[in-house]
């Protein structure tokens, strides 16, 4: 059993072959797909996805930091409305992104804190998006740290020190295609991180692993990430799949 803890199955890139893409993933051994929210525009398609694949698709709800704009309070109200009327498996993806635009940093920080508060209230994990913002993310996690705050540092791309700091806040590290990149860097130190802190993800349709880098990613390609972790940890393929799936169960409770 393989678990993809972060995959945007509803993305426009899969519009023409979503069912076939899902079947390829299942044929590759992927049986659990955790799907993050972006903003209100994806809610309907996410709910349809869950309806179409009820045994294997698990939904999150949240406001992605790059979608924190002038209307962010309306978007947060949408998140809260859905959290109050339906069961989700995580709040995500949430966090801070300063790569594209720093204009809304204050609003991103507020949105992050607000959604962390909801996660604690709902006893749900958080799925963190962090890009060019480790210091800003860690500042808030330091303020909010508690036994009831836990989750996944999605698409982890930091240093060994940052990995250890993330883990100190009860976060697993989401490892995907970046681990296979020649300049991905995390492959140089991952063997110093106990595999109990690792979960697998694709972030499909983004960040496809070698040999598909630059092309559309899909959940079936998670097998290339496992192959890389086999090399890094000197553990069998099946053991990587088993351990990381158990780790995902510890986070999502299912």
**Residue 186: its pLDDT value, please?**
95
Q: Of how many residues is the chain composed? A: 254
The pLDDT, as a whole number, for residue 156 is: 97
What's the pLDDT score for residue 168? 97
Residue 120 pLDDT: 98
Closest among 33, 27, 42 to 7, alpha carbons compared? 33
What confidence score (pLDDT) does residue 210 get?
96
At residue 53, the 3 state secondary structure works out as coil
- The reported pLDDT for the residue numbered 79 is 98
Cβ atoms of residues 131 and 98 within 8 Å? yes
**Residue among 175, 193, 172 nearest 247 (CA):** 172
Angle at 148 between CA 53 and CA 116, to 5 degrees: 70
pLDDT for 91: 98
10 Å CB burial of residue 86 (0-12, 13-18, 19+) is: exposed
Per-residue pLDDT of the chain (254 residues; tens, 9 = 90+): 999 999 999 999 999 999 999 999 999 999 999 999 999 999 999 999 999 999 999 999 999 999 999 999 999 999 999 999 999 999 999 999 999 889 999 999 999 999 999 999 999 999 999 999 999 999 999 999 999 999 999 999 999 999 999 999 999 999 999 999 988 899 999 999 999 999 999 999 999 999 999 999 999 999 999 999 999 999 999 999 999 999 999 999 99
User: Which fold is adopted by the domain 2-252?
Assistant: TIM Barrel (3.20.20)
> Element (H or E) spanning 200, and its range?
strand 198-200
Tell me, what's the pLDDT at 215?
Answer: 97
């Amino acid at each position: 059993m393989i678990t993809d803890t972060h995959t945007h199955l509803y993305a426009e890139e899969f519009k023409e072959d979503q069912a076939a893409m899902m079947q390829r993933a299942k044929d590759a051994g992927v049986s659990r797909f955790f799907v993050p929210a972006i903003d209100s525009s994806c809610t309907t398609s996410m709910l349809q996805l869950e309806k179409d694949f009820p045994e294997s698709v698990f939904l999150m709800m949240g406001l992605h930091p790059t979608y924190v704009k002038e209307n962010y309070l309306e978007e947060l109200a949408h998140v809260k409305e859905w959290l109050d009327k339906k069961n989700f498996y995580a709040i995500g993806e949430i966090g801070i992104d300063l790569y594209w635009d720093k204009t809304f940093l204050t609003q991103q920080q507020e949105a992050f804190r607000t959604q962390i508060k909801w996660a604690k209230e709902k006893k749900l994990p958080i799925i963190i998006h962090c890009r060019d913002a480790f210091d800003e993310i860690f500042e808030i996690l330091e303020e909010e740290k508690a036994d009831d705050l836990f989750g996944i540092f999605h698409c982890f791309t930091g240093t060994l020190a940052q990995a250890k700091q993330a883990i100190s806040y009860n976060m697993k590290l989401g490892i995907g295609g970046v681990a296979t990149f020649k300049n991905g860097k995390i492959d140089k130190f991952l063997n110093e991180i106990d595999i109990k802190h690792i979960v697998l993800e694709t972030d499909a349709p983004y960040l496809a692993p070698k040999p598909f880098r630059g092309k559309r990613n899909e959940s079936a390609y998670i097998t290339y990430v496992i192959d890389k972790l086999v090399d890094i940890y000197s553990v069998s393929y099946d053991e990587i799949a088993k351990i990381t799936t158990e780790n995902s169960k510890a986070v999502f409770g299912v």
